[in-house]
Amino acid sequence: MIQGGWSYVWAAYAVTVSGLAALALIVTLQARRWAARARALEANKRAEP
């Protein structure tokens, strides 16, 4: 049986969690940014006479 190996396990989990968290953060920020712009556009349209 392979002895130890925890350093590889921690590295794999650290890479996975940070990679997925970074992806989720980027996607969320981008979605919020375009949602805010679309809302501003709608508000401008409604404000027009």
Cβ 1 to other proteins shortest distance, Å: 5
Number of residues that bind other proteins (CB under 8 A): 29
Largest pairwise CA distance in the chain = 77
Separation of alpha carbons 15 and 8, rounded Å: 11
Structure tokens at 3: 């002895």
8 lies in the site for other proteins, by CB under 8 A: yes
Which residues sit at the interface with other proteins, rule CB under 8 A? 1-6, 8-9, 11-13, 15-17, 19-20, 23-24, 27-28, 30-31, 33-35, 37-38, 41, 45
